[in-house]
Chain A
Amino acid sequence: MEPLRDKKIVGSLLREIARLTASIRKEAVRIMEVCGTHTMTLHRYGLKPLLAEAGVEMVSGPGCPVCITPDSYHEAALDFLTNRDDVILAAFGDMTRVPTRMGSLQRAVPAPGSRLRIVYSPGESLEFARRNPSRDVVFFGAGFETTIPSIGLTVREASRERIGNYSVLAALWLIEPPLRALCEAGEVKIDGFLYPGHVSAITGRKPFEFIPAEFGLPGAIAGFEPADILLGLKSVLEQIRDGKPGVANAYGRVVRPEGNVKAQKLMASLFEPRDAVWRGLGLIPRSGLSLKKSHARYDAVIRHGLALRDESSDLPGCRCGAILRGAASPPECPLFGSKCRPDSPHGPCMVSYEGACLIHFKYAGKGGNRARTKTGR
């Protein structure tokens, strides 16, 4: 593992990348990293400025489930936690901080006897249901194909064990539709893509094949260590240089071309596609998943009669949508650094550890809006 973070190796790869970009053109090559975890790695290791020096400008894409899940899901979760007695709402940590018109889950005061539990795994929430048979447990989760099979497994297990007090409020998103919407919008000038390595571990290369085939753009599936990302970018640049766009696999040790067929079959057996509204991208047909009727009793919306308004609800002035599309950068949002800060976030882009705005704020300063004062935060 160590070589994947080694300074000398990273330096060599950056020099390779600089040589490639110099041979391609004079201005920066723009590559979109789709996955929020890639964005996180780039920033956490300080790679973005180094890549900029090497001629590559990274643009953050829509692969952050916490960022693109509309308020309506959080509000449904809040409704459950604050208005139903003696229930347990189990959620991934990031989801609990997202601010909505009704506040955030973290700050919510639960109804009498009810509790919010942060979980690392959806399996833990099923365990809460087993241990508290007299309390209703709802797992509130958002995810792409990396996480969907795991959430599905808890539903299957609950069904097999006849666990009656468990259900899932799930904001499940598919990776291909927003990429297609992005390419078709033509709004962003992108020269190539860095594809998510762990989504690909499940889906294989198929979701991305339309991009070189229909739009002539190169891309590479990459892992999440610094060297993995740089190997992926190197591959994209080589495709540009050679005029041969495709879906390269720079994460061969984890990703098989066909993906994880067992996981795909599980998803198909439990879920069906639905039209879904994405924060910032609007309605995208067949871009989300919901539980099939056969498992409707594990759908918390149906089970508990939760109101799930399917509408986008950006706060006024909030440019999260444009930022997710890669059409704007965080400092270009009027709320950034002033009304929208990590301690008082407005949109999910400032909440998620992978949110473009939080990362920009945390790792690269606060842009033009910053006023350093001594009088504390």
Chain B
Amino acid sequence: MREFIDRTVLPVLGNRYLQGLPDASRVGRDIVFTTDGYVVDPLFFPGGDIGSLCVNGTVNDLVVSGAVPRFLSLAVILEEGLPFDDVRRVLASIGKAARAAGVAVATGDTKVVRRGQCDKMFITTSGLGWAVGRPDPRRIRLGDKVLLTGTLGDHSLAILAARGEFGLESAVKSDCAPLTFLLPLWKKGVRWMRDVTRGGLATILSELAEGLPFAIRIEESLIPLSRPVRAAAEILGIDPFYMACEGRAVLIAPQAAAGRILDHIRSFGAGRRAAVIGEVGLKPGRPGEVLCETSAGGLRLLEPLTSELLPRIC
């Protein structure tokens, strides 16, 4: 995908807003603008649906880009024959999620295409917010702490469970939720944050580390995992470091502010399992690396995910 963007999209569309390919772009002095397409299958899963997903996903992109989310656009493409009840459920979900996140759906569009021309429902949302902070990796220093707002992989597993794949019966619920409770942290010293979506924690941290003159060192035993994710990951041989979330963020904060910041996050339900999971350091660790101390005591390097996350047989 990255190659496609670099080779095909940027040569034609490239401009200063797209430089660095941010999830959200600052346009105008204080306006932050983002967009995302949602094609999740199945539409409904434990803990959420495409409706809550399309709101929270875009809201969270704005939050981690330093903006208070205010408005969403909503473009819906429906496959002919989709049960009306499903559409109603999704819209209700969108309404509920928008209210919870404090955003208004200010503009929208609906299209119906013939059966087979799209898979049930595709949604695109764009989001607009007012900047209250600016993530700046250049301010990251040695000794800064790495924080995670909650357990990894619950959304990923919820989708697997909802697809009925592998005959799994799990108590898992998607972590799909708004991260708006993190907004005050932009004034409390946080340097950088990202929501832990596709590719999982390892990929997100690898992308950050790539541009740093430091290593990021994390400790496996400090990573919060829910019991269902722990179990399914071992049964299927999937690594939680690569499982996607839809309501979790990883943050970098100065050592002196980390305690306060952790307290703030933990005071919210969605952040109750937040933890400091590591720090920015060197030796061990070379610039650009993500180094993980495993639960058994040895060290391993974490690389970004380069293909689909597949269950292992071996």
Contact = CB atoms under 8 A, between A and B. Distances in A.
Direct A–B contact present (CB less than 8 angstroms): yes
Interface of A: 5-7, 10-11, 36-37, 40, 43-50, 64-66, 92-94, 96-97, 106, 118-121, 124, 141, 143, 147, 226, 341-343, 352-354, 361-365, 372, 374, 376-377
Query: 8 nearest interchain CB pairs?
Result: A46-B298, A93-B310, A343-B306, A45-B296, A120-B166, A226-B296, A46-B300, A92-B313
A362 B301 contact: yes
B236 interface: yes
A7 B295 contact: yes
Contact of B303 (A48, A96, A361): A361
A65 B314 contact: yes
B314 A363 contact: no
Given A7-B295, A44-B300, A377 B311 contact: no
B2 interface: yes
A377 B296 contact: no
**Dominant secondary structure of chain B at its interface with chain A:** loop
Contacts of A341: 306
Nearest to A4: B296
Contacts of B303: 342, 361-363
Nearest to A120: B166
Interface of B: 2, 6, 165-167, 210-211, 236-237, 239, 287-288, 292-301, 303-304, 306-308, 310-314
B313 A374 contact: no
B97 to A, nearest CB: 31
A213 to B, nearest CB: 29
B310 A7 contact: no
Given A7-B297, A46-B299, A94-B314, A343 B166 contact: no
A7 B6 CA distance: 44
Contact of B298 (A6, A49, A97, A121): A49
A174 to B, nearest CB: 16
Contacts of B239: 44
Contacts of A93: 310-313
Contact of B295 (A5, A66, A124, A365): A5
B310 A96 contact: yes
Given A10-B296, A353-B312, A377 B2 contact: yes
B314 A352 contact: yes
B313 A120 contact: yes
9 contacts: A5-B295, A10-B296, A45-B294, A47-B298, A48-B298, A93-B310, A121-B167, A124-B167, A354-B314
Contact of A45 (B6, B295, B308, B310): B295
Contacts of A66: 314
Contacts of A376: 2, 6, 210
Given A11-B297, A93-B312, A94-B314, 17 more contacts: A5-B296, A7-B296, A44-B239, A45-B298, A46-B292, A46-B293, A48-B298, A50-B297, A93-B311, A94-B312, A120-B313, A121-B166, A342-B303, A342-B306, A363-B303, A372-B210, A377-B2
Given A106-B307, A353-B237, A374 B211 contact: yes
